[in-house]
C-alpha cells in the first residue's frame, strides 16, 4: 500500500510518500511496524494522540482494519481555514 506523510510528520520521516509491504491488520499495527524500522519513524509516531490517520482519503481511527486499503496517510491535526 501507499503510505503518505504530511506537515511535520513528513518532515520528521523525511519523505512525503512510500510504498510499504505489510501484513499489519490495523493502523496501530502498521504504526508499530514502522516505528521499529528506524528512529525517524519512532520519533514521528512517538505520540499518536497528536496524529491523525486517513484510509483511502477518509479520516479513520488507529484501530481501523487495513484490509483492502490502498492508501494510508499520517498527519497532525488539520489547521486550515
Partner 1 sequence: MRIAVQEEQFDLGAEANSFARGNVAHGAIVTFTGVVRDLATGDLDVMEIEHYPGMTERALTKIAQEAQKRWSLGDVLVIHRHGRLEPGERIMMVATAAPHRKDAFEAAEFLMDYLKSRAPFWKKEITRSGAEWVAARDEDENALGRW
Torsion of CA 64, 67, 69, 73, to 10 degrees: 40
Closer residue to partner 1 (CB): 16 or 32: 16
In the complex, minimum distance from the CB of residue 36 to partner 1, in angstroms, rounded to a whole number: 26
Separation CA 40–CA 74 (nearest Å): 14
Judged by CB under 8 A, the residue of 20, 25, 32, 78 near partner 1 is 78
Q: Which residues bind partner 1 (CB under 8 A)?
A: 4, 6-8, 10, 54, 57-59, 73, 75-81
Amino acid at each position: 500500500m501507499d503510505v503518505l506523510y504530511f506537515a511535520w510528520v513528513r518532515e520528521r520521516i523525511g519523505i512525503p510518500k512510500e510504498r510499504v509491504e505489510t501484513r499489519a491488520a490495523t493502523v496501530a499495527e502498521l504504526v508499530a511496524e514502522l516505528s521499529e524500522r528506524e528512529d525517524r519513524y519512532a520519533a514521528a509516531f512517538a505520540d499518536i494522540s497528536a496524529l491523525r490517520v486517513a484510509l483511502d482519503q477518509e479520516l479513520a481511527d488507529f484501530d481501523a482494519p487495513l484490509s483492502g486499503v490502498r492508501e494510508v496517510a499520517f498527519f497532525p491535526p488539520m489547521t486550515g481555514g
